[in-house]
Amino acid sequence: MASTTFFTRTETAGTGRRILKAVAEAMTRYMERQSRADQIQRLQNKSDAELAQMGLRRADIVRHVFRDRFYV
| Confidence at residue 4, expressed as pLDDT on a 0 to 100 scale | 64
Tens of pLDDT, residue by residue over 20-34, are 899 889 888 887 777
Under the banding of pLDDT at 50, 70 and 90, the label for residue 10 is: low
- Cα distances (Å, whole numbers) of residue 15 to 6, 10, 24, 30, 47: 14, 9, 14, 23, 51
Euclidean distance between CA atoms 47 and 53, whole angstroms: 10
| Confidence at residue 53, expressed as pLDDT on a 0 to 100 scale | 97
Tens of pLDDT, residue by residue over 14-71, are 888 899 899 889 888 887 777 888 999 999 999 999 999 999 999 999 999 988 877 6
What's CA 13's distance to the chain center, in Å? 27
